[in-house]
Structure 1
């Protein structure tokens, strides 16, 4: 039996749908803001501060593997109600929180590993969602675009391993905007229209690829059109690509390139 730790975004629902299609036995710990999965059978709402209750449930279900999917918001630590294991483990999570969201994820994985619970990749059941190398659209980046993309990729390679940045906007061999903790959409919203720039969406340096993979979908493409971006660049097998056919059709129609490197 697989334990599904599900948060917000469409990705969590897609993972659940695939697990059902494969007829896998599962249970859900619902970490979404509004109890998104409350109507699902075997769905439980447990505070992230109650590690004891979470671990007991996993062991009660005789599950040795869990999977995280969807955005799990950083909790307000001051308001969490802790059980005994929560009291024991929470200091390490709070220390990690000071280093960024990636560090929180790593600390939770370590806690589960300490309890002999394996965390598997979020796309273990949905490998088709991983973008593969190549140019996916009719439009392609120019030679000058490739130089600009190289500049952005170099930034990711040099960035701090716990940096929250998963997206950059680049233009004319310069980085013109970086993603904040508020996400890619907020970064795009700050752009002026018709920028002619390129979105690079990569995992964080040394990111644990079992959780929180950078994601694009049709909403991302529509935002790119709105602000006049000419293309999107993804990392091979390290991005989640939702609504692939719709995205590629939309990109072709609007002369936006999607390149996977």
Structure 2
């Protein structure tokens, strides 16, 4: 039995499909904005502030392992439904929220750990959605590109542990955009295309990130957004990414003379 804490985007749907193929027993705590899993008979709608109810459900199901996947939006704390355990733990969650989304999830994991509930990697059932080190396209980064890429990676690694930044865009050695809590799409849409220089997107896990949760994710829409603003290359971290529609992305990149490189 696996407990699934599901948020938004397509990643949870991929996990659920694989779990069903494996005939693995599961239940869902649906934390998505639009309640994407409400039609599933094994889905439960529980506020993140109702820790008592969540923990009771997990224990009733005799479940020792849970998994987090998808974008879980920062709750509006004043509107949360709280039970007794929620009242006890919510001050810690609120304090963590000031440090960023990653800190909120890390705090929730600690709460579950106290109840002897283990959080497993979000890619436990879908390792095929990550990529190992290498270049996956016909086009490869050149010597100058590698210099720019190293600078971008160094910048990402210099951020504090709870910064929400997972990505940036570098152009001709200058960082022209960094990801905010609004995500990669908003960052890419903020860029003006240059007729003189091309750009490179770098997405790495946050510094000291818990690699069981919230891994950097890209897919075909990301590459299409990149193409519109003159981003010709995407750099990800080996085995620490979620790559949706991998084959379609590689075909698109080859067709549009883009590179996908895993460091």
Q: What TM-score comes out, normalization by structure 2 length?
A: 0.98
**SS at 2:105's partner residue?**
helix
**In the TM superposition, what whole-angstrom CA distance separates every residue of 1:34-92 from its partner, at most 9, and x where no partner exists?**
11101112110000010000000000000000001111111000111210000001010
Tell me the C-alpha RMSD between the 2 structures. 0.8
Q: 1:157: Cα distance to partner?
A: 1.8
Moved more, 167-176 or 54-63: 167-176
Q: 1:226 maps to what in 2?
A: 228
Aligned counterparts, 1:148-227, within 5 A: 148-194=148-194, 196-227=198-229
In the alignment, does 2:21 pair up with 1:21?
A: yes
Q: 1:230: Cα distance to partner?
A: 1.2
Moved more, 191-200 or 125-134: 191-200
Which of structure 1's runs of 4+ aligned residues deviate more than 6 A?
none
Cα distance in 1 for partners of 2:190, 2:70 equals 24
Q: 2:96 maps to what in 1?
A: 96
In the alignment, does 2:247 pair up with 1:245?
A: yes
In the alignment, does 2:146 pair up with 1:146?
A: yes
Cα distance in 1 for partners of 2:231, 2:67 equals 34
**SS at 2:231's partner residue?**
coil
Which runs of 5 or more residues in structure 2 are unaligned? none
Q: What TM-score comes out, normalization by structure 1 length?
A: 0.99
Cα distance in 2 for partners of 1:181, 1:12 equals 20
**In the TM superposition, what whole-angstrom CA distance separates every residue of 1:208-244 from its partner, at most 9, and x where no partner exists?**
0111101000000100111111100000000000100
**SS at 1:203's partner residue?**
coil
Q: 1:37 maps to what in 2?
A: 37
Q: 1:168: Cα distance to partner?
A: 0.4
Aligned length: 261
Q: 1:193: Cα distance to partner?
A: 2.3
Q: 2:5 maps to what in 1?
A: 5
